[in-house]
A and B are shown apart, each in its own frame.
Chain A
Amino acid sequence: MSSSVPPWRATASAPSSTPVAYQAPATPAYIPVQARRSLTSNQSSSISSAGTTTTHPTTTPAAEPARPRIEFSQAVRNYVQRCFDAKNQIPSVSHAEIQEKLRQVITEAADRNKLHIIDWDRTALPQHMIQNERNRVLANPAVSTWAKASPLTSPVDPNRKRKSTDFGQQQRGDDSPPWKKANNRNRLEDRTTHPSTDKKSRMTLDDSSKSKANLEMRRRRFEGAGVNYGTSGTSSPVDPPIARSTVQDQGPVVGRCQTLEKNYFRLTSAPNPDTVRPLPVLQQTLDLLKKKWKREANYTYICDQFKSLRQDLTVQHIRNEFTVHVYEIHARIALEKGDLGEYNQCQTQLRVLYEQKLGGHPTEFKAYRILYFIYTRNWTAMNDALADVSAEDKKSSAVKHALEVRSTLALGNYHRFFQLYLDTPNMGAYLMDMFVGRERLTALSSMCRAYKPDVKLRFITEELGFESDEQAARFILDHASAEALQEIEGTVRLLTSKAGPLFETAKAEAHRVVDIKGQI
Chain B
Amino acid sequence: MQLASDFRHAYSIASGPALAAVLTPIATASNPQRLRSFYEFTNAQYLTKDLQSTLFHGKSIRVSKSEQAAWVDIFAAYWEAVGEVLKYEERYPGASAVDIFIAWKKVSNALIKGYAGSNGLKAWTLPCLYTVGKFLRTFAIKADLEVAARGSTEYGFQDDLAVDVEKNANLEEAARIINRMFTLCLSDRAPIEDSRKWGIYETTNLLFKTYFKINSVGLTKNLLRAINAQSHELPSLDAFPKSHIVTFEYYLGVIHFLDEQYSKAEEHLTTAWQMCHRDAHKNRELILTYLIPCHMVTTHTLPSRQLLAPFPRLEQLFRPLSNCIRRGDLVGFDQAMAAGEAEFVKRRIYLPLERGRDIALRNLFRKVFIAGGYEEPKDGQPAIRRTRIPVFEFAAALRIGTHATSRMGVDIDEVECLLANLIYKGLMKGYIARERGMVVLSKNNTAFPGTGV
Contact = CB atoms under 8 A, between A and B. Distances in A.
B97 to A, nearest CB: 12
Contact of A170 (B161, B411, B431, B440): B161
A378 B391 CA distance: 36
B204 to A, nearest CB: 14
Contacts of B348: 380, 383
B345 A411 contact: no
Nearest to B420: A450
A447 interface: yes
A445 interface: yes
A209 B218 CA distance: 53
Contact of B351 (A169, A352, A383, A450): A383
A411 B161 contact: no
Contacts of A172: 165, 172
Nearest to A96: B106
A411 B164 contact: no
Interface in B382-416: 411, 413-414, 416
Contact of A407 (B215, B354, B420): B354
Given A141-B222, A170-B159, A413-B414, A451 B431 contact: yes
Given A92-B173, A172-B165, A412 B424 contact: yes
Between B163, B357, B423, B424, the greatest number of chain A beta carbons within 10 A of the residue's beta carbon is seen for B424
Interface in B203-231: 215, 217-218, 222, 225-226
A167 B155 CA distance: 13
Contacts of B215: 384
A302 B357 CA distance: 46
A425 B217 CA distance: 32
B346 A349 contact: no
Nearest to B106: A94
A459 B225 CA distance: 48
B434 A413 contact: no
B442 interface: no
B425 interface: yes
Which secondary structure dominates chain A's binding surface? helix
A382 to B, nearest CB: 7
A445 B424 contact: yes
Nearest to B358: A411
A463 B260 CA distance: 28
A449 B420 contact: yes
B316 interface: no
Contacts of A252: 157
B20 interface: no
Contact of A352 (B161, B218, B433): B161
19 contacts: A91-B101, A137-B180, A141-B226, A167-B159, A167-B161, A169-B155, A169-B165, A170-B164, A349-B161, A353-B160, A379-B259, A383-B258, A383-B350, A445-B424, A446-B420, A447-B420, A449-B423, A459-B434, A463-B417
Sorted nearest first, the 4 A-B pairs with minimum C-beta distance are A170-B161, A450-B420, A415-B417, A446-B424
Interface of A: 91-92, 94, 134-135, 137-138, 141-142, 166-170, 172-173, 247, 251-252, 314, 317, 319, 348-349, 351-353, 355-356, 379-380, 382-384, 386-387, 407, 410-416, 445-447, 449-452, 455-456, 459, 462-463
